[in-house]
Amino acid sequence: MRAIVLLCLLHATFGQNKPYSWDGPGQGEPDPDQRAGSVCHTDQGSCGCCLMLREMNRLRTYFNTTLNTLEKEYLQTKQSLNNMEASRIAFSAALYSDDRFKCYGPFDVNSLIVYKHVFLNLGGGYNVQTGIFTVPRSGVYSLALTVFSDAGSPGNSLAACAGLQVNGQLVAGSRDQNKNDQEDSATIVVVLHLKAGNQVAVNLPIGCFLCDDNSHYNTFSAFLLYVTE
């Protein structure tokens, strides 16, 4: 920038084609009343330099404004991506992964079912030690539960039952206790608005039992549909 200004000034100083007038003071000066006689009419070198500087300043202002706009859009895009990554919440777990077919329950008290085989745990909300899904972010969630049990042989009592609960309160459940079926299954799917910190779990009522192996007949799943404030 300084080099350009210096070149312009040198051009304005030495690039004059008209010699100085020696006819005395005031001779050869432009008429001040001639408003059309701007600097471009009397000093072509200075006029070009000023126009160049003005254009450079205009371009610099344009590029600075454009850069600020791009930086703002970049920060907004980065924030949106961070929100999208934080919103990737989903888990799915099954009761057992053993080859051997076995049952969970029955117990003398209501018990939370601990699903040991984890298929997916995006967001880390599911605790494989407790069987509790702690909601990481407030939003609308889809929750699903499959229930399966086997009485072992015809005539034995079947008690395929479980309840989906939020913060210890029953939301939806399935209960099938009879001696007519050797095996039975059920599916529960609900959509709930949950808040961050809510605890979702599956309760096994007294006297009920679920049976499973690596076929994964009993599953507990949830995923975030969209975030809410």
C-alpha of 227 from chain center:
9
Query: Rounded distance, CA 26 to CA 82, Å?
Result: 73
What's the chain's Rg over C-alpha atoms?
A: 40
Q: Which helix (H) or strand (E) holds 127?
A: strand 126-127
Query: Rounded distance, CA 48 to CA 69, Å?
Result: 32
Q: Position 96: which residue type?
A: Y
Q: Kind of pairing, strands 139-150 and 183-194?
A: antiparallel
Tens-digit pLDDT string for the chain (229 aa): 555 545 454 454 544 444 444 444 444 444 444 444 455 555 555 677 787 888 888 888 888 888 888 888 877 777 666 666 667 899 999 998 888 899 998 999 999 999 999 999 999 999 999 999 999 999 999 999 999 999 888 878 888 899 999 999 999 998 887 778 788 899 999 999 999 999 999 999 999 999 999 999 999 999 999 998 7
